[in-house]
């Protein structure tokens, strides 16, 4: 049985647009903070993604790549996964370039997952499982704005300096719940971008 995922992906895209708008506004508050010139590219960080809906939107993006670019991404993804397998006890310290990074730019930029959109600037999250959490921003941000982490710890102006991830995570979680119900999908979902690319390739009728 096939399902039309369009309503789910459209709704996720709306959430992502809201994230992008808030992130852009926050960048302006911090002297137009950007990743340009960053030596510690976050695309080399091993991020896990935990929702089925993001897996689908990444797959949509993969389907829009040029054939040569997709082939290269798949080869990179297999190499990425092999490197992860060799370093299972040391994943957090691994620095491997995302297989979808082409000449410093994301190949599926419009379809990139939530964490790829919101990482970098100071943030907070009220989790029903882990409680209140906060992030001081990426290393580049902290070097450029050393006074901000203190405000995150002592949030006198929290609303001004910190992105609240709670509403976005809640919206994505709600959408994920509806999707899982549709698919009767109950298992945990945890994948890197590379693993999503490999699974996309296995679902494709192509042999490398």
Out of 108-112, 140-144, 154-158, which region has the weakest mean confidence (pLDDT)? 154-158
- In order, the DSSP letters of 104-169 are TEETTGGG--HHHHHTTS-EEEEETTTEEEEE---HHHHHH-TTHHHHHHS-TTHHHH-EE-HHHH
Evaluate whether 173 touches 126 at the Cβ level (below 8 Å).
no
pLDDT, tens digit, 9 for 90 and up, residues 2-36: 678 999 999 999 999 999 999 999 998 888 888 88
Residue 27: closest CA among 140, 134, 194: 140
In the chain, % of residues over pLDDT 90: 60
The two three-digit tokens of residue 101, written as one number: 């990074």
Confidence band of 71 (pLDDT split at 50, 70, 90) = very high
pLDDT tens for 32-68 read 888 887 777 889 988 899 999 999 999 999 999 999 9
In the 8-state DSSP scheme, what is residue 48? Answer: -
Residue that the structure tokens 């979902």 belong to: 189
**pLDDT of 148:** 62
Q: What global pTM score does this model have?
A: 0.86
Average pLDDT, the chain: 87
Check residue 156 and give its pLDDT: 40
pLDDT tens digits for 159-179?
457 899 999 999 999 999 999
Alpha-carbon distance of 204 to 102, in angstroms, equals: 22
The per-residue b/e assignment along 107-124, b for 16 or more CB within 10 angstroms, e otherwise, is bbeebbbbebbbbbbbbb
Q: By three-state DSSP, how is residue 49 classified?
A: strand
For residue 128, pLDDT over 50 is answered with yes
For residue 157, pLDDT beyond 70: no
- Cβ pair 49, 55 in contact under 8 A: yes
Is 46:92 a contact under the CB 8 Å cutoff?
yes
pLDDT at 88: 78
- pLDDT at position 205, please? 40
pLDDT score at 155: 46
Q: Which long-range contacts (CB under 8 A, 24 or more apart) does 94-98 make?
A: 94/46, 95/44, 95/45, 96/44, 96/46, 96/194, 97/41, 97/43, 97/44, 98/43, 98/44, 98/193, 98/194
């Amino acid at each position: 049985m096939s399902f039309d995922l369009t309503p789910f992906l459209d709704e996720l895209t709306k959430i992502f647009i809201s994230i992008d708008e808030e992130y852009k506004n926050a960048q302006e508050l911090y002297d137009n903070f950007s990743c340009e010139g960053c030596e510690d590219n976050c695309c080399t960080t091993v991020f896990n993604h935990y929702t089925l809906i993001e897996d689908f939107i990444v797959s949509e993006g993969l389907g829009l790549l040029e054939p040569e670019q997709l082939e290269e991404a798949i080869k990179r993804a297999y190499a990425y996964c092999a490197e992860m397998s060799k370093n299972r006890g040391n994943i957090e310290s691994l620095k491997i370039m995302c297989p979808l990074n082409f000449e410093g730019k994301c190949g599926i930029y419009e379809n990139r997952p939530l964490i790829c959109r919101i990482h970098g600037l100071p943030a907070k999250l009220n989790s029903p499982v882990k409680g209140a959490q906060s992030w001081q921003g990426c290393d580049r941000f902290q070097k450029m704005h050393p006074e901000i982490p203190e405000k995150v710890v002592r949030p006198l102006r929290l609303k001004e300096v910190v992105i609240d991830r709670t509403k976005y995570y809640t919206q994505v979680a709600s959408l994920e719940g509806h999707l899982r119900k549709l698919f009767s999908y109950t298992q945990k979902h945890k994948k890197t971008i590379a693993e999503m690319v490999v699974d996309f390739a296995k679902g494709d009728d192509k042999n490398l």
